[in-house]
Amino acid sequence: MQAIRTWWGQRFMQALERFTDAARLARGRSYANSNRIKSWQLKDGVMSAKIRGNTNPYYGVYKEPTYETAISLKVISNDDWELLIRQLGSRASFVSRLLLNEMPDNIETPFEALDLHLLPHNAKDFKTRCSCPDYENPCKHVAGLCYFLASQLDQDPFLLFELRGLSPHELLKKLKQTPLGKALAQVREQEQASAFTPVESYFTRPLVLDQSVACDYKAFWECHKRLPEGFARPASSHFIPALLIKKGGDFPDFWKQSMTFPVAMEGAYEAIRKKSKAW
């Protein structure tokens, strides 16, 4: 089983642990994978699955069984959903994130204000069934389906709304009908429309020049104003011989002569300069 990473997946399991046997719930971890869960679906607020069981000769089970397992939450009535939509639609922080398909961390706040719950709240709020012979609740297969549902909530937390009787599509549709939802939806549609405005080309097109005027090549090369015949030479700067040598000091570590190193190098440079002029 993959680790449950997100807030809603972890909170879902924590909510179950408050009113179920945590030890029995933990037994289902090994059943929350594709090797055990052969197929599953979420329809009308009920998550059902076909789960592969184990053979047990002690109980006369010699052929690998497949159990029909299902879990569901108490469905919220239409009237209560209308009140919840008003609560959600009056808060920009909720509407903006939900319209972007993001689940707010404090999504349970408007539910609690109406004495309702998005996550499982108690044993009466959470219903299970399984065709296996284990009469304890939760059995391994129900527990495995719970862990599997938590991993699905990692990928799509809006499944919680569907478990409570309102599909994500209907939720977004109702939010867009609220005054604040309409305004935010219009702004988002305008931004998307401007972002995808078609253009003729992504490259700069060359400018087309008028070719009716004949090109005078002589005027092009000579220009209208001739360049000056000569340039004044800049005044020669003061020459400091052996400047870099002098920065090293009079007696560097490698210099052992009585004459200072800059004076010796200055003489060498002067001799080279005179020699180059003679050439």
Domain ranges (residues) in the chain: 7-182
Q: How confident is the model at residue 145 (pLDDT cuts 50, 70, 90)?
A: very high
Q: What is the mean pLDDT of residues 81-104?
A: 89
Q: What is the pLDDT of residue 66?
A: 92
Question: What token pair was written down for 177?
Answer: 């009908």
Q: Which of 137, 117, 154, 216 is nearest to 3 (CA)?
A: 154
178-190 mean pLDDT: 82
**In this predicted structure, what is the pLDDT of residue 278?**
67
Q: Is 95 left (phi over 0), alpha (psi -120 to 50) or beta?
A: alpha
Give the β-pairing of 37-43 and 46-52: antiparallel
Q: CA 118, CA 143: separation in Å to the nearest integer?
A: 20
**Which DSSP state fits 137?**
S
Give the model's pLDDT for residue 239.
59
Task: Report which residue type is found at 16.
Answer: L
Q: Calculate ∠ Cα 145-150-156, nearest 5°.
A: 120
Tokens standing for residue 77: 């009535």
User: Cα–Cα distance between 242 and 265 in angstroms, integer?
Assistant: 7
Q: Of 73, 258, 58, 33, nearest to 160 (Cα)?
A: 73
Q: What is the mean pLDDT of residues 39-65?
A: 86
Mean pLDDT of the chain: 82
- Taking residues 134-151, report their average pLDDT: 89
Residue 49 predicted with pLDDT over 90: yes
pTM of the model: 0.63
Query: 151-165, 227-241, 247-261 — which one is most confidently predicted on average?
Result: 151-165
CB 184 within 8 A of CB 95: yes
Q: Is 163 helix (H, G, I), strand (E, B) or coil?
A: helix
Q: What are the residues facing 67 on neighbouring strands? A: 51
pLDDT above 70 as % of the chain: 81
Mark residue 115 as left, alpha or beta (left: phi above 0; alpha: psi -120 to 50; beta: remaining).
left
Pick from 162, 207, 201, 202: which is nearest to 46 by CA?
162
